[in-house]
Structure 1
Amino acid sequence: MTLRRVVVTGLGALTPIGNTVQEYWDSLINGVSGAAPITYFDTTNFKTKFACEVKNFNVEDFIDRKEARRMDRYAQYALVATEEAVKDANFNFDTLDKDRVGVIWGSGIGGLETFQEEVINWTNGNGTPKFNPFFIPKMIADIAGGHISIKYGFRGPNFTTVSACASSTNALIDAFNYIRLGHADVIVTGGSEAAVTIAGMGGFNAMHALSTRNDDPKTASRPMDKDREGFVLGEGAGALILEEYEHAIARGATIYCEVGGGGMSADAHHITAPHPEGLGARNVMRNCLKDAGLKPEDVDAVNMHGTSTPLGDIAESKAIIEVFGDHAYNLNLNSTKSMTGHLLGAAGAIETISCILAIKHGIIPPTINHFTDDENIDPKLNFTFNKAQKRDVKVVMSNTFGFGGHNACVLVKKLEA
């Protein structure tokens, strides 16, 4: 069976450092941190009092007030990012076969804020279970994809992937496979998350996963730095339009890049900690290269999972050296989480967008907030510390690893005629 080629024809982003793709990219290459004190709730009694929130966002600028009230923030974010991506793809809806257009979305948690609010309302009441009739359809993790398909009338494959922080990368890989196997011509894919909530912050604090650098939030996310001590929670959404190559050419679409391959693996080690030698990370990158039919030396850059956790950054760095050998020292490595924070299930989508834009513009965004080398991480690796670097970029990989040992890696490459 001949596999069909898959390209990217539209992008949308709503992030802690920019509410459009252009704003997001400008902030990335200029090393802007999205971390700031939390505004959503009183953090007086919380260990961590800051996060990477979406800023200057009014949902009613995009969605009717009545409809917006029936959606959790994570679904609102999904619709806003998708609207930008759909406009960017410039479809002719009069001729588009909507039966051949699907939606495969990713979210690690779904409507956490909705669940939190309903439980708080019940416990503060008289014990009578008077729940909002929209409680369940606001909360469930698949509803963002449902809203997208309903808004645009897309009737192709529609489902949601849930694999913690690997969720939207898994969604991208599934979308890629569904198109190249012929099950759809176009798929809206990506991910969204809105876990900056009482429950989200409290839960991650309880497991000692978050930075507590309350005196200096903007430098709290420090991937690969010796003094890193946890990730910074982020929120937002990233949307990509994946399209079969001939379909895109026939309608005269602008093509950003080609999707080369995807890899998946499991650590099979621990519910939250990575394998100390990075075995799952090693396997997922090798699987991705094999799927793309490329050699390690074909890759120019890797957007690392790089969460700024003590164990994770070391394990991933070891895996990169094992996979790429001597070529590892020719790579540009970076972690955009140093600026956006960790968007959990949406991380893979917004980070893949950064990889695509690195190909388009020939610039690798930096890993900011590096102050001190970690003796456990090879100092000869180029982590693109603190300043963006210009480079001819043809092939980029993006890693995402989730609680439960879920690993996903996607590869994008410059389009060849």
Structure 2
Amino acid sequence: MQTHLSEQARQLPRALEAETVLRACVHCGFCNATCPTYQLLGDELDGPRGRIYLMKEMLEGAPITAATQTHLDRCLSCRNCESTCPSGVEYHTLLDIGRDFIEQQVPRTLGNRLLRSGLRAVVPHPALFKALTRTGQLFRPLLPGSLQAKLPRQARPAGIRPSTKHARRMLILEGCVQPGFSPNTNAATARVLDRLGISLIPVAQAGCCGAVDFHMNAQARGLDRARRNIDAWWPAIEGGAQAIVQTASGCGAFVKEYGVMLKHDPRYAAKAQRISALALDLVEVLRAEPLANLHVHSDLRLAFHCPCTLQHAQKLGGAVEALLTTLGLNLTAVPDGHLCCGSAGTYSLTQPVLSRQLRDNKLNALESGQPQVIVTANIGCQTHLDGAGRTPVRHWIEIIDEALASAKEQPHAQS
């Protein structure tokens, strides 16, 4: 579409990117067909096409209102629209620019500011988050139902991590929420990779990937976290580490964007591109390995929830399902697998009503095949879906780890 940015908008660091995205959109509306919020609300301004039009008006100098901010806030950033768009519109790029621009123009209410600053103060700090999670578990019966639903129903202990030092080494970003909510996920990953001759190495100096700050309109802070992680990982990369493994697809999607987001930073541009190239979701690591070394057997009926950050951002839809099927695990069919579960980072806290509606719709689809366990690839989706108190939800690597351990113990049980 034709667009003419205002003089104010032209001064933005990413003005050219915004203009490029706007001109790529042909306003066809195919995106609305797969937009979760449009399907719930039926409002053109709560679909990608309408939001693009709002951002176009805003960047062309039209008056900016709190209503515009509300429509942008309601977007899940699921990027389902990008998978649908026939014109290849990079909607998420425009959304990041638009949200940052409007944040400087429209003041938020005190309550909204406190919620957002509180989330940014707690979530990116694993030690603090873990301590608060443990405290919440102790006083769980006293908490309101909305907070009880955010705590894991059954946080499995991590178990022992392998001590063998293999020649092949990969780094792992431990994550912010995962150590507190699902400590066994990364430990199970380390044990499975150990069987394949790979040592998984955490780097203590690495912290939050930056996604929480960046997507809550503290973009400069989010990029500072990215730079810190690059500095933390770089010595190990130079020392021969083969990859940076992500077990949370939300973190993985963001780390893979480091190269794009820091491309104008003369100090970090080249390193950021290298880091993004080395960032691999766990399924990318395993599907490149000789799976004959993994002998898995499990009678569990599983339903896989593919997170938006895995299928729409990383373009790895179907990869986990194919891997689990190859290993012999029993997957049930899931209708409308492309739709978001409503977790979307902090969305379940900033937009609780919409988030719960999406969660319940997703659970109805996942449970249609009567699985015993739902598995997923992102800690946010995992805790959000599990919080409904219905079918248990776990990370898929835990199921593989347990099946491998069971197969190893089986001969002893028979002797």
Q: Do both share a fold (TM > 0.5)?
A: no
Higher helix share: 2
Higher relative contact order (CA 8 A, sep 6+): 1
In terms of fraction of residues, the more strand-rich structure is 1
TM-score norm. by structure 2 comes to: 0.31
